[in-house]
Amino acid sequence: MSVSTKRRCLAVLLAAGEGKRMRSATPKVLHKVAGRSMLAHALTALAGAGAESIAVVVGPGAGDVAAEALRIAPQAEIFTQTERLGTAHAVLAARTALARGYDDILVAFADTPLVTAETFAALRAGLAGGAAVTVLAFEPENPAGYGRVLLGPDGGPDAIREEKDASPAEKAIRLSNAGVMALDGHIALALLDAIEPNNAQKEYYLTDAVALARSRGARTAHRVAPEAEVMGVNDRVQLAACEARAQAAARRTAMLGGATLQAPETVFIAAGAKIGQDVTIEPNVVIGPGCEIADGATIHAFSHLEGAYVGPGANVGPFARLRPGARLEKKAKVGNFVEIKKSHIGAGAKVSHLTYIGDATVGAEANIGAGVVTCNYDGFDKFQTVIGDNAFVGTNSSLVAPVKIGEGAFVGSGSVITRDVAPDALALGRGQQVEKPGWAKAFRAKKTKKKGD
> What would the pLDDT profile of 293-335 be if each residue is shown by its tens digit?
999 999 999 999 999 999 999 999 999 999 999 999 999 999 9
What is the Cα 247 distance to its own chain's centre?
11
Q: What is the pLDDT of residue 5?
A: 53
User: pLDDT tens digits for 266-294?
Assistant: 999 999 999 999 999 999 999 999 999 99
2-230 under CATH 3.20.20.140, yes or no? no
* 80, 86, 88, 89: CA torsion to nearest 10: -40
All residues at 6 or more sequence positions from 209 whose CB lies less than 8 Å from its CB, including other chains:
88, 133, 181, 183, 191, 192, 195
For the chain, the domains span 2-230, 236-427
Neighbours of 386 (CB within 10 A): 18
Q: Of residues 31, 304, 344, 353, which has the active-site annotation?
A: 353
> Model-level pTM?
0.90
Contact call for residues 146 and 176 (beta carbons, < 8 A): yes
Cα–Cα distance measured from residue 316 to residue 309, given in angstroms and rounded to the nearest whole number: 11
The SS3 call for residue 37 is strand
Q: What is the pLDDT of residues 407-432, one digit of tens each?
A: 999 999 999 999 999 999 999 998 88
Question: Taking the mean position of all CA atoms in its chain, how far away is CA 414?
Answer: 41
Task: Tell me the pLDDT tens digit for each residue of 199-258.
Answer: 778 889 999 999 999 999 999 999 999 999 999 999 999 999 999 999 999 999 999 999
Q: Give every CB contact of residue 404 below 8 A, 6+ residues apart in sequence.
A: 385, 386, 387, 388, 420, 421
Give the pLDDT score at 432.
85
2-230 matches 236-427 in fold: no
To 10 degrees, the CA torsion angle through 187, 190, 191, 196?
Answer: 180
Query: Are the beta carbons of 415 and 430 closer than 8 angstroms?
Result: yes
| Strand partners of residue 403 | 385
pLDDT at 435: 92
Assess whether pLDDT exceeds 70 at residue 337.
Answer: yes
Does the structure show a pLDDT above 50 at 4?
no
Kind and range of the H or E run holding 158: strand 157-161
CA distance 99 to 95: 6
Reference 158, options 218, 200, 88; nearest CA is 218
Region of 342 (left: φ > 0; alpha: ψ -120 to 50; beta: rest) is left
Per CATH, the number for 236-427 is: 2.160.10.10
User: What residues does 399 pair with on adjacent strands?
Assistant: 374, 417
Q: How many CB atoms lie within 10 A of CB 22?
A: 21
| 89 in catalytic set | no
